[in-house]
Amino acid sequence: MSTPYPALVKHGLDLLHDPRLNKGTAFSEQERDELGLRGLLPPRRFTLLQQVERALANLRRKTSNLEKYVFLTSLQERNETVFYRLVVDHIEEVMPIIYTPTVGEACQEYAHIFRRPMGMYISRRDRGRMLDVLRNWPQVDVRVIVVTDGERILGLGDLGADGMGIPVGKLSLYVACAGMYPGLGLPIMLDVGTNNEALLNDPLYIGLPERRLRGPEYDTLIEEFIGAVQALWPKAMIQLEDFGNTNAFHLLEKYRDRICLFDDDIQGTASVTLAGLHSALRITGGSLCDQRILFLGAGEAGIGIGNLIAADLTAEGISEGNARRVCWFVDSKGLVVRSRTDLARYKLPFAHEHQPVADLLTAIETLHPTALIGVAGVGPVFSQPVVEAMTRINQRPIIFALSNPTSKSECTAEQAYRWSNGQAIFASGSPFPQVTINGRTLVPGQGNNAYIFPGVGLGVVASEASRVTNEMFATAAKTLAAMTLDSELAATCIYPSFKRIREVSVAIAVAVAELAYAQGVAGHKRPLDISAHVHAQVYEPTYISSHHDAYADVASSHA
């Protein structure tokens, strides 16, 4: 595999302006002489850790999370090594800034805080020349592409081209959480317009001020994009991110068996939620097939979770019908039941025989679910009566409020714990602080997709898999759940500490790579030691000893 360094020798200011090669004040005396840097830097040399210490101090001086996001983005644009060293060493502090919940606010303000482009922008104007456009990307070897069309950014809706913060953030997590080389990732915005009136009327909006492309023209543009990626980077994995429900299900169904592609909102969310359920059952006892899970929301996330649960159960020998009856859904019009005539096609497998039910609380009282999962993105709808009803029905109710950002969360950790008298097993999409109830400290788990997609991606890259299979996400879920410590479960935290995210991601990558070889989708012969093979792919944010060595390594790797 290639290193993350471009095969072009740079000197002087050109070198200082390259974030991947720039060491700033860490350049040695010899490097300053050899690379034309003498006089362009303060004469005192600092170590990487000293640079990180300075950056962290400046970060903590910022008075708002959005200011912190802008600072970190600027740091990433100047010096990737310092940026990733800071993120890796302070992941719990920085994660909510570079991703949820702050990335949602950043996307809402993206056009107004825009400084320089990161990644690529492709629009309808590029039809017929997509391959030539993608060739403008400077990296020779691209292995992971995160792409969005900005139609359903988190729970915030259509943000058009301002949704670019999502692919950029996701690829930062690939590097920070799993150790993927920075140069192997490419964030892409498919600017197909927006139906957001505020953006269409904003003179600073960075996207095309046009209505969204729909129908055959949209499909043709996507097909050309996919074909160009395959022609230029045949080993690349494509991650679909924050597409609208209809397009998300359609594109996943169309391409998942043709190319190496997955949808994080459907499959990544499903995997991290399934992991949370497996961990929760370590507390409550019982098996997954004995649960009755009620979802609020029947879009990408909810149906994706239901499909993965059903697939996981059928793999264990449960009939498909019984497996699907574990999952029940409430959408904006009530309980999803077979007698309804207004259901989208992707909801039909979960439309069970039952009398109509109009609202969530009535559905709880009627169905007696053991777990309640919120993925509707409509805000605080897990009210006190809802949580109290779940607690009355279950000794230890499982309550997941997974919608992002924080403003869209179905309830807070404080509410779930207090209204259940500390009995709830709670997880959320956005982070919440720990809560003390009756002298007992409870730690809410964060069902963040960052537990899943970086490890899955690293496993796919390491094995050069030609497909991302459903079984990979089920395997990732079980691996993640198994890594939650008993001490963490004792505090009702059903996910491992983010401090161990690299350990977790590499374990998932090894399991996914094992499966790729077993399923026959790997791109090369199975290595004797898969764990060692995966560990060899992991990037550590440190300075190389010599830039000339890096250039030589790159030249040989592309020879």
What are the C-alpha distances in Å from 509 to residues 27, 260, 480, 524? Answer: 34, 16, 11, 16
Q: Is 99 a catalytic residue?
A: yes
Angle between helix axes 80-89 and 91-98 (nearest 10 degrees) is 120
What is the CB neighbour count within 10 angstroms for residue 532? Answer: 10
- Geometric angle at alpha carbon 255, from 249 and 259, rounded to 5°: 145
Tokens of 492: 């009702």
- Geometric angle at alpha carbon 457, from 232 and 307, rounded to 5°: 110
Q: Between β-strands 293-296 and 371-374, what pairing exists: parallel, antiparallel or unpaired?
A: parallel
Tokens of 343: 């259901």
Using DSSP's 3-state secondary structure scheme, residue 36 falls into: coil
- Geometric angle at alpha carbon 473, from 471 and 475, rounded to 5°: 70
Q: Which one from 69, 99, 110, 181 is the annotated catalytic residue?
A: 99
Q: Which one from 170, 235, 347, 408 is the annotated catalytic residue?
A: 170
Cβ distance 191 to 220 under 8 Å? Answer: no
d(CA 403, CA 447): 10
Counted residue by residue, the chain has a size of 559
Helix, strand and coil content of the chain, in percent to the nearest 5, comes to: 50, 10, 40
Place of tokens 């690529």: 120
Q: How far is Cα of residue 306 from the mean position of the Cα atoms in its chain?
A: 19
Which H, E and C letters describe 437-454, residue by residue? ECCEEECCEECCHHHCHH
| Continuous H helices in 119-164 | 130-134
The alpha carbon torsion through 484, 486, 490, 491 (nearest 10 deg) reads -40
What is the CB neighbour count within 10 angstroms for residue 400? Answer: 30
Place of tokens 């509410």: 415
Element (H, E) at 442: strand 440-442
Q: Is 69 a catalytic residue?
A: no
Angle between helix axes 65-78 and 91-98 (nearest 10 degrees) is 100
What are the C-alpha distances in Å from 228 to residues 133, 174, 182, 238, 531? Answer: 9, 23, 22, 12, 33
Place of tokens 């009530």: 334
d(CA 59, CA 82): 13
Give bridge partners of residue 436 from the DSSP assignment. Answer: 441
Which H, E and C letters describe 264-324, residue by residue? HHHHHHHHHHHHHHHHHHHHHCCCHHHCCEEEECCCHHHHHHHHHHHHHHHHCCCCHHHHH
| Burial (CB count <10 Å: 0-12, 13-18, 19+), residue 106 | buried
d(CA 140, CA 135): 9
Looking at the annotation, which residues are catalytic?
Answer: 99, 170
